[in-house]
Amino acid sequence: MVELNESTRDEYMDYIIKAAMKNDIEQFRHLFLELHPADQADVFLHLEELERKRVYEFLSPEEFAEIFEGLEVDEQKNIALELNDHYAAEVFNNMYADDVADFLSELQQENVSDILKAMDDEDADDVRELLAYEEETAGAIMTKEFISIKAYDTVGDVIELLRQEGPDAETIYYLYVVDEKERLAGVTSIRDLITSISTEKIENIMSTRVVSVHEKTDQEEVAQLIQKYDFLAAPVVDDDNTLLGIVTVDDVLDVIEEEATEDLGEITAARGSTDVTLTSFQAAKKRAPWIIMLMFFGLVTAEVIGRFEETLETVVLLAAFIPMIMGSAGNTGTQSLAVSVRALATGSLEKRGLWKTIIREFSTGLMIGVMSGAVIALLLAIFYGDPLLGGIVGVSIVLSLGMASVIGTTIPLVINKLKLDPAIASGPFITTLNDLISLMIYFTVATSLIQYL
Amino acid sequence: MVELNESTRDEYMDYIIKAAMKNDIEQFRHLFLELHPADQADVFLHLEELERKRVYEFLSPEEFAEIFEGLEVDEQKNIALELNDHYAAEVFNNMYADDVADFLSELQQENVSDILKAMDDEDADDVRELLAYEEETAGAIMTKEFISIKAYDTVGDVIELLRQEGPDAETIYYLYVVDEKERLAGVTSIRDLITSISTEKIENIMSTRVVSVHEKTDQEEVAQLIQKYDFLAAPVVDDDNTLLGIVTVDDVLDVIEEEATEDLGEITAARGSTDVTLTSFQAAKKRAPWIIMLMFFGLVTAEVIGRFEETLETVVLLAAFIPMIMGSAGNTGTQSLAVSVRALATGSLEKRGLWKTIIREFSTGLMIGVMSGAVIALLLAIFYGDPLLGGIVGVSIVLSLGMASVIGTTIPLVINKLKLDPAIASGPFITTLNDLISLMIYFTVATSLIQYL
């Protein structure tokens, strides 16, 4: 297998393109198929339309299926339009059912039906089953291509089965044992197989207590489970413990990546738009509503400041510290938010308890507030020669930071507990809320002390 | 194997503790060892000191090593103090070298030497080798417990070898082939082995083009590679292509988690303090410096506002829109930051190019600016009956958002390119910078138009 990197790819691609354009099918197949499918997909994406057409001619649907699986859904959509119907159907038949389902879940309903009708019945049924699951559940990300064996099989039987079916299964490292009703009864591994004699019965080497996940379990929980136990796969079962499929560790890698992107998107109100393949306009369309919505909150803040216009007119200098106080509250709240989001993502919250976390964050916020409040009060007293102004700003910072840390911690946790839309817990919303509260604290403190200024 | 969850754990633990306190070693071992090591660690962490002492009595160092591997480094430090020297050394001998190295890298130098001296020479050498690597490189996270075979071995030889050494190796699914100088020459998998006859030579079934990583490769790149190719492991080599170790997919899961935490910590200036196990004071100590440093930037902002005191005194209402303009610029910049950080983390930037990304973000920022600027100008014209004020705020928003998106995108990319401390690219720093720039834009626009207000 040839490994490509940025520097070697271009040269290698030249050879491939030349072979394609000279219609040298043998040379093309030799060069192209020596690449790992992930690199084939990489090269393929760099081809022009005319060159891509040659790929469809020179590669069988089965060979092209591996490339197609390696593309992003947006890329798949464009490429699918270039394939003739029969070729496309064969490509889908040769893909893993979960990959087909991922692709179809992004299409219009009518296109989905057409594609499913063109596919082989058995393959189409698997895909339909996966499509029926709610997104981001174990059922939606599981693969149907797994090997199940029976407790009365011998090691020799199973090895023979692996010889035949191994190439089609997504993983052969764990072998799940089912009873006559397809209920999960045990698990064994290829490690156990090769250390046993071939006449040994599976029931004697299998472990009967299998860690499994329910079909409706959230994908993040599945990822945490696989990570906790260092598994390479986990079986997915229904209420009756019937084995429905397996989630493999490479799917979990994608889930963790996806959840990290989601978390970041939420914290930055850039949900669904951190993908660099979007055009400017697509990205702006997704992001502008957030910015405009947050701007309306900003108008509320403007309203609050307007109410204190009298105070401001008396001491215009007070305006100068608005950004600093708001900024500090915002930053502290965001730090607390990060703690909550990570705690939720890694499952460490359950280990530790909700209240303990909130109280810890509140004390942390207060401590940070006291430290920074003291520093700023001192600075203002010395450099502006105005200890009272220093006091006003300092006290406001202590109170604001204490509040901000509680808000930053609790909102995401409460949202999560109540199963509300987590977007409300996004960083900018929390920051905007903290802005508002810190401003009110600041002006209230200032107004009540202004007579002494 | 018994699987534990929050509800079953307490009851099961009661039985275990009762057995321990009744000195019923047999019952204790039966209950405890039936758990998966990850759950053993979970139960163990819930025990009191007296109960933990029984665990050390009842379990062999080899058995306890599996529990110790499952603990966080902070927990390991406390537990290590409870073990007698001989038991501890045996525990370390029985742990994977990479786990020992992870633990030792957090200790004082003198303690490290003592522990290494107490360990078996061969095991200690492996650990020393790993400790010599810079943190977060392939060398630092690789495992030394892998199986290497020779090209002239037969399939039967290798299966025999796996029977003997399989239990000690971290993974047996990929088998790396080395030449007489231990240089990586090929790879085969257990899948290939079982589908071949036992007299077949490895050289006939192995693939000679192996994807490997250099010992000094950054762990994030290793994770991307394993993810791209859906590998279960990747071999680590030195300049001479000598096989040094392997990185397994479960290590990669941890790396991705770790990098996501790091990214989030950077964006929120909560680096190294998102861990919920820290005490309030520890967290405050880590986070306060950031908040205080950012507060100093806030003072610069105060200074800028101070310079425009005259403008502000003329139209105090201008102060009311400071938070909104700053907030919008901050939010837009943070969105762009999220795009950059994700692009760096997933490697999609290389695929796409630096300039294309920056230009796309700039146009996105401008578009968002035009949309939100228009909305706000209209609102202010209608509700405040002041089209000029609307114009000032609207124009300031367009300019500020365009700038903010460029700054949010480029700073992390430039920092990354120049290999500077990425902390400078953290969200709050970028937001503070954007605050300052948007304020200057706002007051410059306002001052130049104030005569018409």
Closest residue in B to A260 (Cα–Cα): B260
How many whole angstroms separate alpha carbon A345 and alpha carbon A376? 35
Tokens at B178, concatenated? 């080395």
Measured between beta carbons, the chain B residues lying within 8 angstroms of A334 are 268-270, 427-428
Strands B243-248 and A213-214: unpaired
Q: Are residues B408 and B340 in contact, defined by beta-carbon separation less than 8 angstroms?
A: yes
CATH architecture of B6-137: Alpha Horseshoe (1.25)
Nearest chain B CA: its distance from A164 CA (Å):
8
**A299 → closest Cβ in B249, B324, B343:** B324
Encoded amino acid at A291, one letter: I
pLDDT of residue B274: 63
Q: Are residues B372 and A291 in contact, defined by beta-carbon separation less than 8 angstroms?
A: yes
The Cα-based distances of B329 to A107, B336, B340 in angstroms read 35, 11, 17
How many whole angstroms separate alpha carbon A237 and alpha carbon A239? 7
Measured between beta carbons, the chain A residues lying within 8 angstroms of B36 are 211, 229
**Which residue's structure tokens are 């139960």?**
B43
Tokens at B117, concatenated? 């001296």
Distance of CA A38 to the CA centre of its chain: 20
Measured between beta carbons, the chain B residues lying within 8 angstroms of A361 are 280, 283
In words, the CATH class of domain A6-141 is mainly alpha
Distance of CA A322 to the CA centre of its chain: 36
What value, to the nearest 5°, has the Cα angle with vertex A400 and ends A395 and A401?
Answer: 105
Helical (H) or strand (E) element with A247 = strand A243-248
**Residue B255: how many CB atoms within 10 A of its CB?**
20
Phi, psi dihedrals of residue A244, rounded to the nearest 5°: -105, -30
How many whole angstroms separate alpha carbon A26 and alpha carbon A182? 46
Phi, psi dihedrals of residue A236, rounded to the nearest 5°: -110, 130
**B360 → closest Cβ in A250, A280, A364:** A280
**A364 → closest Cβ in B34, B210, B280:** B280
Q: Are residues A5 and A12 in contact, defined by beta-carbon separation less than 8 angstroms?
A: no
pLDDT of residue B343: 78
What value, to the nearest 5°, has the Cα angle with vertex A127 and ends A56 and B189?
Answer: 70
Comparing CA positions, the residue from B11, B23, B30, B88 lying closest to residue B54 is: B23
For testing contact with chain B, the best of A209, A227, A274 (most B CBs within 10 A): A274
pLDDT at A290 over 90: no
The Cα-based distances of A423 to A139, A337, A341, B17 in angstroms read 24, 13, 12, 44
Q: Where in chain A is the domain with CATH 1.25.60.10?
A: 6-141
Q: Are residues A172 and A231 in contact, defined by beta-carbon separation less than 8 angstroms?
A: no
Q: In what order do the strands lie in the sheet with B174-178?
A: B148-149, B174-178, B184-189
Q: In what order do the strands lie in the sheet with A184-189?
A: A148-149, A174-178, A184-189
Torsional class of A201: left (φ above 0), alpha (ψ -120 to 50), beta (otherwise): beta
pLDDT at A432 over 50: yes
Cβ–Cβ of A401/B309 closer than 8 Å? no
**A368 → closest Cβ in B274, B287, B335:** B287
Instruction: Tell me whether residue B235 is exposed, middle or buried, using C-beta atoms within 10 angstroms of its C-beta: 0 to 12, 13 to 18, 19 or more.
Output: buried
Contacts of B270 (CB under 8 A, 6+ apart): A334, A335, A336, A338, A339, B264, B287, B290
Contacts of B57 (CB under 8 A, 6+ apart): B25
Say which CATH topology domain A148-248 has: CBS-domain (3.10.580)
How many whole angstroms separate alpha carbon A325 and alpha carbon A173? 57
pLDDT of residue B60: 93
**A283 → closest Cβ in B328, B364, B375:** B364
Comparing CA positions, the residue from A404, A257, A266, A406 lying closest to residue A326 is: A404
pLDDT tens per residue, chain B (453 residues)? 455 555 666 778 888 888 888 888 888 898 888 888 888 888 888 888 888 888 898 999 999 999 998 888 888 888 988 998 889 999 999 998 888 998 998 888 888 888 899 899 888 999 999 999 998 899 999 988 888 899 999 999 998 888 887 666 777 788 999 999 999 999 998 888 888 888 999 999 998 878 899 999 999 889 988 988 888 899 999 999 999 999 999 888 888 888 777 777 666 666 556 666 677 788 788 778 877 887 888 888 888 888 888 888 888 888 888 888 988 888 888 888 888 877 777 776 666 677 888 888 888 889 999 999 999 999 888 888 888 889 999 999 999 999 999 998 888 888 777 766 555 556 777 888 888 899 899 999 998 887 776
Measured between beta carbons, the chain B residues lying within 8 angstroms of A368 are 284, 287-288, 291
Measured between beta carbons, the chain B residues lying within 8 angstroms of A159 are 194
**B209 → closest Cβ in A2, A336, A346:** A2
Strands B184-189 and B174-178: antiparallel
* 3-state SS class at A442: helix
Detail the DSSP E strand segments found in A139-225: 148-149, 174-178, 184-189, 213-214
Comparing CA positions, the residue from A132, A131, A126 lying closest to residue A146 is: A126
Nearest chain B CA: its distance from A185 CA (Å):
12
pLDDT at A3 over 60: no
How many whole angstroms separate alpha carbon B359 and alpha carbon A406? 38
Quickly list DSSP for B13-40.
HHHHHHHHHTT-HHHHHHHHHTB-HHHH
Nearest chain B CA: its distance from A373 CA (Å):
9
How many whole angstroms separate alpha carbon A97 and alpha carbon A103? 10
Q: Are residues B67 and B56 in contact, defined by beta-carbon separation less than 8 angstroms?
A: no
Tokens at A427, concatenated? 């960083």
Measured between beta carbons, the chain B residues lying within 8 angstroms of A379 are 299
pLDDT at A71 over 60: yes
End-to-end CA distance of chain A: 77
Nearest chain B CA: its distance from A120 CA (Å):
27
Cβ–Cβ of A321/B337 closer than 8 Å? no
Comparing CA positions, the residue from A451, A429, A358, A434 lying closest to residue A396 is: A434
Q: Where in chain B is the domain with CATH 3.10.580.10?
A: 148-248
pLDDT at A34 over 60: yes
Q: Are residues B309 and A317 in contact, defined by beta-carbon separation less than 8 angstroms?
A: yes
How many whole angstroms separate alpha carbon B303 and alpha carbon B443? 13
Measured between beta carbons, the chain A residues lying within 8 angstroms of B378 are none
The Cα-based distances of B328 to A278, A372, B158, B377 in angstroms read 22, 26, 64, 14
Q: Are residues A48 and A79 in contact, defined by beta-carbon separation less than 8 angstroms?
A: no
* 3-state SS class at A178: strand
Measured between beta carbons, the chain A residues lying within 8 angstroms of B194 are 159, 162-163, 166, 190, 194
Measured between beta carbons, the chain B residues lying within 8 angstroms of A162 are 191, 194-195
How many whole angstroms separate alpha carbon A32 and alpha carbon A19? 10
How many whole angstroms separate alpha carbon B303 and alpha carbon A317? 10
Comparing CA positions, the residue from A117, A124, A114, A72 lying closest to residue A94 is: A124
Cβ–Cβ of A190/B190 closer than 8 Å? yes
Q: What ipTM, to 2 d.p.?
A: 0.75
pLDDT of residue A92: 93
How many whole angstroms separate alpha carbon B177 and alpha carbon B199? 17
Nearest chain B CA: its distance from A179 CA (Å):
18
Q: In what order do the strands lie in the sheet with A243-248?
A: A213-214, A233-237, A243-248
pLDDT of residue B349: 66
Range of lowest pLDDT (A122-126, A344-348, A410-414): A344-348
Contacts of A357 (CB under 8 A, 6+ apart): A339, A340, A343, A349, A409, A413, B276
pLDDT of residue A1: 45
Closest residue in A to B402 (Cα–Cα): A284
* 3-state SS class at B177: strand
Which one of A6-15, A164-173, B75-84 scores highest in mean pLDDT? B75-84
Cβ–Cβ of B316/A317 closer than 8 Å? no
Strand partners, B35: B2
Q: Where in chain A is the domain with CATH 1.10.357.20?
A: 280-452
B238 compared with A46, residue with greater pLDDT: B238
Cβ–Cβ of A3/B360 closer than 8 Å? no
How many whole angstroms separate alpha carbon A54 and alpha carbon A113? 28
How many whole angstroms separate alpha carbon A314 and alpha carbon A439? 17
Q: Are residues A58 and A29 in contact, defined by beta-carbon separation less than 8 angstroms?
A: yes
Number of H helices and E strands in chain B, helices first, is 23, 6
Q: Where in chain B is the domain with CATH 1.25.60.10?
A: 6-137
How many whole angstroms separate alpha carbon B60 and alpha carbon B140? 28
For testing contact with chain B, the best of A195, A335, A393 (most B CBs within 10 A): A335
Comparing CA positions, the residue from A449, A438, A453, A447 lying closest to residue A312 is: A447
pLDDT of residue B1: 45
**B306 → closest Cβ in A270, A279, A320:** A320
The C-alpha torsion from A235 through A236 and A239 to A240, rounded to 10°, is: -50
DSSP 8-state class, residue B415 = H
**Residue A314: how many CB atoms within 10 A of its CB?**
15
pLDDT of residue B164: 81
Contacts of A293 (CB under 8 A, 6+ apart): none
Cβ–Cβ of A319/B322 closer than 8 Å? yes
Nearest chain B CA: its distance from A90 CA (Å):
23
Q: What is the largest CA-CA distance in chain B?
A: 95
Nearest chain A CA: its distance from B204 CA (Å):
15
Please provide the average confidence, as pLDDT, over all residues in chain A: 85
What value, to the nearest 5°, has the Cα angle with vertex A402 and ends A398 and A407?
Answer: 145
| Percent share of chain A, pLDDT over 90 | 26
Distance of CA A52 to the CA centre of its chain: 31
CATH number of B280-452: 1.10.357.20
